[in-house]
Amino acid sequence: MLGLNKKDFNLLMVVVGLSLFAPFILNIFPKDSAMAFFNGGYPDLMQRFAIFGIFAIGFNILFGLTGYLSFGHAAFLGVGSYAAVWMFKLLGYNVVPGLILSVIVAGLLSVVIGYVSLRRSGIYFSILTLAFAQMMYSIAYSDLFGRWLGITLTNGETGLQVYSNDPQILLGENSPIVPHIFGLEMNARLTLPIGPWEFVFPVGYYFSALFLVLAFYLSIRIFRSPFGLMLRAVKSNNQRMTYTGLNPRPYTLAAFIISGMYAGLAGGLLASMDPLAGAERMYWTESGAVVIMTILGGVGTLIGPVLGAGTIKYMENIISKMNEKLLHEWFGFLPDSLEYSIVWVASWFTGEGWHMTQGVVFMLVIIFLPGGLVEGGQRLAARFGAKSNDTGKTAQPAE
Amino acid sequence: MGILEVKDVNKRFGGLQALGNVNLSVQENTVHAIIGPNGAGKSTLLNCLIGKLIPDTGSVMFDGQSVLGRLPYEINQMGISRVFQTPEIFGELNVMENMMISCFAKRDGAFRMQAMADMYREKEVVEKAEKMLEDMAMIDKRHDHTASMSRGDKRRLEIAMCLSQEPRLLLLDEPTAGMARADTNNTIDLLKQIKEDRDITIAIIEHDMHVVFSLAERITVLAQGTPLVEDTPDKIKGHPKVQEAYLGEAA
Amino acid sequence: MTNKLTRRGVLKSGAVAGAGVALPTIFTASSASAQAYTNEPTGSTVTLGFNVPQTGPYAEEGLDELRAQELAVEHLNGEGDGGCLNTFTSKALKGNGILGKKVQFVTGDTQTKSDAARASAKSMIEKDGAIMINGGSSSGVAIAVQGLCQEAGVIFMAGLTHSNDTTGKDRKANGFRHFFNAYMSAAALAPVLKSEYGADRRAYHLTADYTWGWSQQESIAAATEAMGWETVNNVLTPLAATDFSSYITPVLNSGADVLVLNHYGGNMVNSLTNAIQFGLRDKMVNGKQFEIVVPLYSELMAAGAGKNVQGVLGSMNYNWQLDNEGSRAFVKSFGEKYGRPPSNSAQTCYAQTLLYADACERAGTFNPCGVAEALEGFEFDGLGNGPTLYRADDHQCFKDVLVVKGKENPTNEYDTLEIVDQTPVAQVTYAPDHPMFGGAEASLGTCNPGA
Amino acid sequence: MSEFILQILNGLDKGSAYALIALGLTLIFGTLGVVNFAHGALFMIGAFCSVTLSRILSASYETVDPTQKDFLGNPLKVKSTYMESWLGPDIGGAIIDWSVPLAILFSIPIMIAVGIAMERGLIKHFYKRPHADQILVTFGLAIILQEIIRGFYGANPIQTPAPEALSSVAQLGGALGLEIVYPAWRMVYFFFALATIGGVFAFLQFTTFGMVVRAGMADRETVGLMGINIDRRFTIMFAIAAVVAGWAGVMYAPINAPNYHMGMDFLVLSFVVVVVGGMGSLPGAVAAGFLLGILESFASWERFKVFDGLDQIIIYLVAIIILLTRPRGLMGKKGVMED
């Protein structure tokens, strides 16, 4: 089906299913219950799951298949966002031109950066990509290009946004004034209350999820293609590859460009959900974050990056919101001394300490589960005697 | 005029003359062995043939075309395949995938973007790879991961990959190094079989005289970066210079 | 232009209007349309969203803001000593929550990044039902979050944001700022600089290379040049810079006798430290004592710079040593709860929370448009800054500006700054269409209730 | 002219920090083959050794002074240090004043302990893992270390002044007839860095231990075959690298007030330095450190700022150019880190 074998098709269906039912899965706790804090099913976070899933899938095509560790992929995400916002400013809020341009611009940038960086391998490649991305960040943060040209290009640290006096030449009398796809607004949503539950179905999320499914499908096809085979050959043995008459560089460059375009698409989608592009999304730690997502989920696996992106974004958004007051409420039933010691310990890892949790989880995964969550799933499946296959390990929810 | 013509090749590393005025001619459809003591420059010569090293002076012609200045993959595409001393295969992939990489390389050249095709639906490539595995008696190992295979099997796979590219010249760098006797004999038989089945020129660098004398039709003896003598195996065996420079030492 | 704006104002966002799909009746078409405005509180509680940097370089500032906001919530709910509820000139607040609803709050981490700040604000609005967003510690973040709140239809009370743009070219109908701005700092400092250092000075500017830095430099250069100073040079320094030595050395031989550091946070701590290291404060140039000016001070940064701030002039929105009834009540309340005096960003966030609550009470609704209307043109006293006006034209607050100086002999760790002068509000007031504030083009747009 | 010299001095000063960090990074990489992203954190811990010692030395007790009032109007609690009340204001005061130089000694056991704990507890298990895994696990560790420091010391920078006697500016260039003033402590930092770098090189060059380590850096297997327990020596080298990074931080504290994220600020830069110098080359790391420091200084100087913002991107620009023209950096060896 769709040019996939049965196993891959099943995996694709799992992703489709997860995407479709995410509003239910992520709102598993009733709205007013104490556990509702852990619900991740609000529009912004669900959109981020999908968008960063796309970003990580693209990154995995480069890192997972060829083994080239880029530390500068956030640059492509950033220029994608800038490109999309510029389209909003010049043409209007329909997201289609923005998304197209964001992919094109990120693609062009990745041709340049990839062409130069791929002349080196190993850590030299990583540092080259890092250097390029940091340059792009500095240029965006102080709007250096804009300054050299005498215009506003990135609007510095405030971020590029749409002003009411922008040209927006395609903006008709009745066009929405928020990003939309042919009139369907990205921030529109349906709310479905069932008993104590409340499920939200945001347009923006389903729009992003559509791209996630497409991106995932494309990545399966690439993994199973002769091209994907060649990329794995690059990672496995570059020497044998050249002595087999193959030129690794166009293969890695193509992978680099594809993953750059994925990142550009993710950036364009981010801007479509929220029409503001900030320079911080190009900072090197953001590039590090996509590496972390990919590894956490399982590098080189199909579903891993999606799981990793979901886990990191969930942690970032939920754990950082656990403040001490909340902790005291939760542990208030305990005797005071116990309550205070638990809260003291927990506060290292929650609220402003969420970076600590991220660091710890990340280290634990690298040390004990080098294959990431996918490997964890496989081990669990093996322990409980289930057949260890690709679908088995995706049966668990995204978080 | 041989298929491979090496003329006046010199290569220095700092103060060391690794190759001095090497001349070599390998005739089409023969097995040509290059032997010599350690440090004689055998590997350096080989590396000059496949583009890994560029000689300081001299020329290397393959089938009338110069290989100098070409990148390794271009030289491979001209029809020269190399088998390494330690088997170089794609360690993280399985046997069939290894085979398919070289079959794709033969069919599509150095680069072809096929990101949407399913590799297992490329019938001709799959069939060719399977055929080659059958020929090499490895078909039942097709799903094995190469990392867990024996050295002999790895060597066999590497040779299979090279052959699937239908090279005109196969370069073997000590193909039996580090192998047990049984594996060595198997490899000799395999190479003999290959020579019988197809029109192919084989150049072999080898330490093991047993292997050399079982296979070679011509032998070049290299010492201190220069060819001492080139002749048939029988003549080489009795050659006094060779006795002195190499075989005597071994005895 | 005006045309376009009105049309935009009429258009409402948030509904599924464009979808055109026949929806099953089980769906309540949109969460927004069931309500009169975004996150209309239906139960017995109302939720405020406190969005402050909890990680990153401004984390301490953010934590102090959080302390103040928690204190404000206590006071609103009638707990504690009531703080400024007793001194506030508006008596609408009764200590029984807001409009009878108990006040709750949620927190988010801006990380001092526009993206992260918008994400955390969205999470509080979309998930926790926050009815307003309060706080923050940089202008980039404030402008980004202000834009978001405008789109989402909630009130935004900016925290520490000093750039002119926040209520200048980026002003929004749903956003209000209690903090002062770069123009006001400059206007307040200029007369003091003139009386302390004379009218014949040559100033060298080091400016952080981002929106706030530019805005601060532009303002202070204009104000000092107007009183006769000469601007010798203005050098932009990268935000990421940690060592400023190579920016300081050219100052030594530039002929300048004043160094203006348009830096904030870690930049300011390091550039000031480096300037002192190079002996600038001990130098005599043109027969005058060399001086350093830091236009924007904060207690935490002053503490970070240690004794390097001694004798260095700057301005502040508020200082706990300010002696008026509201200030005393606030410092007492804050000091007793946390054992330390409040910072000026803490006071800002505290005052904003109370002001928001008071505006709701006076408007009789949480509807952001009603609240905005109640805040516009509101004059009050008793929250610590003295008499204050929330100007309707640009939602900027106007009050006296404090000029402060690093104290020569601090008696304890909180005693780093002393108030030199209190520049009256008249001197720092400007026209709403001032060119530094977006000129005539700048517009608040229309209030967006989100439904 | 004098300005030119000043910028060179600035460059050498920045370069000192880069070189010291890069030196340790290269030592670890060269000996253990590990890419240590937590190295910046070691620098940060060093700086906080200064902070901690100065806090310990100025530990104080409170007495209530009824004549003064605190901010709430209560009697002021006056703090006096134990050091001054035990040893008298002269000696006690001097000890507090000299806490940063004293922290050089104080930091040794701490940095050795941290170094050994890191190597034995974590990095040991990553020798055989891919470089990507090493980068990531040490990156995770760096985050944790910085969060711990933030937990204890807060996010605000903490001023840690140099001794009074070294806080002033030094008059240089009198002999050249130029007026050059430069902060005394920055000169101290530069010479301290030179001495430390010299010490490390001398140690590797002239001691048996150092010779074995150098042999091990060149070819680990051979040395292992000689029956020398190279692993234990490498652990010690890790500790030494930690001390070098720690010292770089200890002495840096008075230059710029330490904060918890200073390690990350230096991390990317020091990696660029190491790569520009050539992975695995100690002289390369030192040379690249000073070179990039000087280039950065001049790029920040208006006269050399050919275009706006050059100072922001110079380091990366130079790194890209060098890596493309000299594939293995300035002094890199073939085959190192290329797979």
pLDDT at C15 (0 to 100): 39
pLDDT at D224 (0 to 100): 66
Paired residues of D170 in beta bridges: D182
pLDDT in tens, A92-104: 999 999 999 999 9
Range of the structural domain that residue D240 is part of:
2-57+100-325
Paired residues of B57 in beta bridges: B10
Domain ranges of chain A: 6-282
Distance (Å) from the alpha carbon of D1 to chain A's nearest alpha carbon: 30
Domain ranges of chain B: 1-79+167-251, 91-166
Check pLDDT > 70 for residue C389: yes
pLDDT at C2 (0 to 100): 40
Paired residues of B204 in beta bridges: B33, B172
Total domains in the fold of chain D: 1
pLDDT in tens, C115-151: 889 989 999 998 899 999 998 888 989 999 999 999 8
Q: Which residue has the tokens 């239809």?
A: C153
Rounded to two decimals, the ipTM of the complex is 0.88
In B141-180, the residues whose Cβ lies within 8 Å of chain A are 161, 165
Count of residues for chain C? 451
pLDDT at B246 (0 to 100): 61
Name the packing angle between helices B95-108 and B123-135 (round to 10°): 120
pLDDT in tens, C267-323: 999 999 999 999 998 888 888 999 999 999 998 888 888 889 999 999 999 999 999
Q: Among B207-221, C149-163, C373-387, which is the least confidently predicted range?
A: B207-221
Helix (H, G, I), strand (E, B) or coil at D169: strand
Instruction: Identify all chain C residues contacting D255, using CB atoms and an 8 Å cutoff.
Output: 243, 273-274, 277
A3 inside 8 A of chain B by CB: yes
Distance (Å) from the alpha carbon of D238 to chain C's nearest alpha carbon: 27
- How much is the mean pLDDT over chain C? 88
Helix (H, G, I), strand (E, B) or coil at C403: strand
Distance from C-alpha of D82 to C-alpha of D76, rounded to nearest angstrom:
19
Q: At C390, phi and psi to the nearest 5? A: -95, 105
Q: What is the average per-residue pLDDT within C57-63? A: 88
Question: CB count, 10 Å around CB of D236?
Answer: 17
Interface contact flag, C123 A164, Cβ < 8 Å: no
C28 and C171, same domain (yes or no): yes
pLDDT at B40 (0 to 100): 80
C295 and C343, same domain (yes or no): no
CB D253 within 8 Å of CB D160: yes
Q: How does residue D132 score in pLDDT terms, banded at 50, 70 and 90? A: confident
| Architecture per CATH, B1-79+167-251 | 3-Layer(aba) Sandwich (3.40)
C232 inside 8 A of chain D by CB: no
Paired residues of B7 in beta bridges: B59
CA D120 to chain CA mean position, Å: 22
3-class DSSP string for C176-191: EECCCCHHHHHHHHHH
Q: Percent of chain C at pLDDT above 90?
A: 70
Distance from C-alpha of C222 to C-alpha of C187, rounded to nearest angstrom:
9
Total domains in the fold of chain C: 2
Q: Which one has a higher pLDDT value, D113 or D327? A: D113
Q: Among C41-50, C53-62, D64-73, which is the least confidently predicted range?
A: D64-73
State the best of B89, B92, B158 to mutate against chain A, taking most chain A CBs within 10 Å: B92
Q: Which residue has the tokens 């696990």?
A: D137
Judging contact as 3 or more Cβ pairs under 8 Å, the answer for C and B is no
B123 inside 8 A of chain A by CB: no
pLDDT in tens, C221-255: 999 999 999 999 999 998 888 899 999 999 988 88
pLDDT at A391 (0 to 100): 39
CA C308 to chain CA mean position, Å: 25
Interface contacts C/D by beta carbons within 8 Å? 127
pLDDT at C7 (0 to 100): 39
Check pLDDT > 70 for residue C154: yes
CA angle C360, C363, C369 (to 5 degrees): 85
Q: What is the average per-residue pLDDT within D116-143? A: 89
pLDDT in tens, B86-130: 888 998 899 999 999 999 999 998 899 888 889 999 999 999 999
Q: What is the average per-residue pLDDT within B64-76? A: 89
The secondary structure of residue C28, as a DSSP letter, is B
Would C368 be classed as within a structural domain? Answer: yes
Instruction: Identify all chain C residues contacting A190, using CB atoms and an 8 Å cutoff.
Output: 16, 23, 27, 29-30
pLDDT in tens, B19-44: 888 999 999 999 999 988 877 888 88
Question: CB count, 10 Å around CB of D218?
Answer: 12
State the best of C114, C162, C165 to mutate against chain A, taking most chain A CBs within 10 Å: C114
Q: Give, in order, the Cα–Cα distances in Å from D231 to each of A137, A198, C267, D127, D204.
A: 41, 59, 43, 11, 16
State the best of B101, B106, B170 to mutate against chain A, taking most chain A CBs within 10 Å: B101
Check pLDDT > 50 for residue C27: no
Last residue within a domain, chosen from C301, C316, C331 = C316
pLDDT at A392 (0 to 100): 35
Last residue within a domain, chosen from C291, C316, C341 = C316
Paired residues of B34 in beta bridges: B205, B220
B124 inside 8 A of chain A by CB: no
Q: Smallest Cα–Cα separation from C322: which of C300, C299, C303, C306?
A: C299
Task: Please give the model's pTM, rounded to 2 decimal places.
Answer: 0.90
State the best of D7, D10, D97, D317 to mutate against chain C, taking most chain C CBs within 10 Å: D10
Q: How does residue C14 score in pLDDT terms, banded at 50, 70 and 90? A: very low
Buried-exposed string C109-118: b where 16+ CB fall within 10 A, e elsewhere = bbbbbbbbbb
pLDDT at A388 (0 to 100): 44
Residues with Cβ within 8 Å of residue C380, at least 6 apart in sequence: C88, C89, C90, C355, C358, C387, C388
pLDDT at D221 (0 to 100): 66
Residues with Cβ within 8 Å of residue A150, at least 6 apart in sequence: none
Would C428 be classed as within a structural domain? Answer: no
Q: Smallest Cα–Cα separation from C54: which of C67, C37, C73?
A: C67
C152 and C30, same domain (yes or no): yes
pLDDT at B181 (0 to 100): 84
Cite the DSSP H helix spans in D33-173: 39-57, 82-97, 99-121, 131-153
pLDDT at C113 (0 to 100): 87
Q: At C262, phi and psi to the nearest 5? A: -85, 65
- Helix, strand and coil percent figures for chain C, each rounded to 5: 40, 20, 40
In A214-253, the residues whose Cβ lies within 8 Å of chain B are 221-222, 224-230, 232-233, 235-237, 239-247, 250-251
**Neighbours, chain B (3 or more CB pairs < 8 A):** A
Q: What is the average per-residue pLDDT within D239-263? A: 94
The count of C-alpha atoms lying within 13 angstroms of the C-alpha of C311, restricted to the half-sphere facing its C-beta, is 12
CB A158 within 8 Å of CB A277: no
C252 and C361, same domain (yes or no): no
Residues with Cβ within 8 Å of residue A365, at least 6 apart in sequence: A295, A296, A372, A373
Q: What is the average per-residue pLDDT within D275-300? A: 91
Q: Smallest Cα–Cα separation from A8: which of A394, A300, A390, A375?
A: A390
Which CATH number covers residue C251? Answer: 3.40.50.2300
Check pLDDT > 60 for residue C8: no
Check pLDDT > 60 for residue C31: no
Q: Smallest Cα–Cα separation from B9: which of B237, B220, B235?
A: B220
Q: Percent of chain D at pLDDT above 70?
A: 94
**Which CATH number is correct for A6-282, 3.30.70, 1.10.10, 1.20.120, 1.10.3470?**
1.10.3470
DSSP string, D174-225: TTTT--EEEEHHHHHHHHHHHHHHHHHHHHHHHSHHHHHHHHHHH-HHHHHH
Instruction: Identify all chain A residues contacting B92, using CB atoms and an 8 Å cutoff.
Output: 232, 235-236
Distance (Å) from the alpha carbon of A248 to chain B's nearest alpha carbon: 8
Nearest CB among C147, C238, C445 relative to A161 is that of C147
The secondary structure of residue D68, as a DSSP letter, is E
Distance from C-alpha of C325 to C-alpha of C318, rounded to nearest angstrom:
14
User: How many angstroms separate the first and last alpha carbons of chain D?
Assistant: 47
Q: How does residue A319 score in pLDDT terms, banded at 50, 70 and 90? A: confident
Check pLDDT > 90 for residue D171: no
CB B191 within 8 Å of CB B202: yes
- How much is the mean pLDDT over chain D? 87
The secondary structure of residue D333, as a DSSP letter, is P
Q: Which helix (H) or strand (E) holds B179?
A: none
Distance (Å) from the alpha carbon of D10 to chain A's nearest alpha carbon: 22
Name the packing angle between helices C344-363 and C368-375 (round to 10°): 110
CA angle C284, C289, C295 (to 5 degrees): 125
CB D275 within 8 Å of CB D328: no
Instruction: Identify all chain B residues contacting A243, using CB atoms and an 8 Å cutoff.
Output: 50, 72-73, 76, 81-82, 84, 88
Q: How does residue A312 score in pLDDT terms, banded at 50, 70 and 90? A: very high
pLDDT at A394 (0 to 100): 34
Range of the structural domain that residue C93 is part of:
24-180+321-394+433-441
CB C243 within 8 Å of CB C221: no
Which CATH number covers residue D181? Answer: 1.10.3470
Would D88 be classed as within a structural domain? Answer: no
Buried-exposed string B27-53: b where 16+ CB fall within 10 A, e elsewhere = eeebbbbbbbbeebbbbbbbbbbbbbb
Distance from C-alpha of A12 to C-alpha of A24, rounded to nearest angstrom:
19
pLDDT at D336 (0 to 100): 54
Q: Smallest Cα–Cα separation from A253: which of A58, A62, A56?
A: A62
**Neighbours, chain D (3 or more CB pairs < 8 A):** A, C
Last residue within a domain, chosen from C295, C316, C337 = C316
Instruction: Identify all chain A residues contacting C116, using CB atoms and an 8 Å cutoff.
Output: 280
Distance (Å) from the alpha carbon of D298 to chain C's nearest alpha carbon: 8
Check pLDDT > 60 for residue C26: no
Distance from C-alpha of D112 to C-alpha of D243, rounded to nearest angstrom:
6
